[in-house]
Amino acid sequence: KQEVTQIPAALSVPEGENLVLNCSFTDSAIYNLQWFRQDPGKGLTSLLLIQSSQREQTSGRLNASLDKSSGRSTLYIAASQPGDSATYLCAVGGGGYQKVTFGIGTKLQVIP
Amino acid sequence: DTGVSQNPRHKITKRGQNVTFRCDPISEHNRLYWYRQTLGQGPEFLTYFQNEAQLEKSRLLSDRFSAERPKGSFSTLEIQRTEQGDSAMYLCASSSRTAIYGELFFGEGSRLTVL
């Protein structure tokens, strides 16, 4: 059974700081890995999708990396802004119908 | 393309009542998923449809839960005889068979409060 762990559970940083969120998973036979953002009481917004054959993806100030062999992914956020405050969820896809397993998220607060 | 749409956004009901949630996926997406999320937790898989066929159900989906996708378009999730433990956010997601790597797109969710 796939298990996904996200560290830290919560993070508070001053505006402008670069930061790294971590995700680890127990079964390296994955199909893809997706990072999501969730604002309080809202649904999930897709940020980045990394295919199992890729090592990283970039979108604006976000960069996600994937090391399948070690079961790890990181989400790097450059020059953080107060608007980045949200919960960030890592989701690992695997299985014939792409069953997705989520971590519990990292709650990020960026202080102006 | 209006994205994944879920209704109602919030439902408050008394214990023992039945509730139904609806999900309209992105129009060309043939894969549809239901997830449940409780406070402080990540979403947990409930069930998966490919077109109109329900291909997988989680053990979390007790006999009181039923999901349908009759014409391979919208889907409904019904909870019968609701219990306080059913209070959660119910999330719907869809993905496209032509998107090789299966990117999931989520709706805003339907929050259920059972009194």
Measure B41 CA to nearest chain A CA, in Å: 5
Burial environment of residue B36 by CB neighbours within 10 A (0 to 12, 13 to 18, 19 or more)? buried
> How does the average pLDDT of chain A come out, rounded?
93
A99 confidence band (pLDDT: 50, 70, 90) = confident
Q: DSSP per residue over chain B, as a string?
A: ----EEE-SEEEE-TT--EEEEEE--TT--EEEEEEE-TTS--EEEEEEETTEEEEE-TTS-TTEEEE-TTSS-EEEEE-S--GGG-EEEEEEEE-TTSTT---EE---EEEEE-
Mean pLDDT calculated for residue range A42-53: 92
Q: Which of A37, A44, A68, A92 to mutate to test the interface with B (most CBs of B within 10 A)?
A: A44
Query: pLDDT averaged over chain B?
Result: 92
| Residue B100 clears pLDDT 80, i.e. is over it | no
- What's the whole-number mean pLDDT along residues B69-91? 95
CB–CB contact B45 A44 (8 Å): no
Residue A54, pLDDT score: 92
pLDDT tens digits for A51-79? 888 999 999 999 999 999 999 999 999 99
Contact flag B43-A105 (C-beta cutoff 8 Å): no
pLDDT of residue B101: 65
Range B38-53 average pLDDT: 92
Least CB-CB distance to B40: which of A32, A49, A104? A104
**Nearest beta carbon to residue B104 from set A46, A104, A105:** A46
Q: How much is the average pLDDT of B29-50?
A: 93
Residue of B nearest to A4 (CA): B42
Confidence of residue A94 (pLDDT cuts 50, 70, 90): confident
What pLDDT band is residue B2 in, cutting at 50, 70 and 90?
confident
Sorted by sequence, the CB contacts under 8 Å of residue A79 that are 6+ apart come out as A16, A17, A18, A61
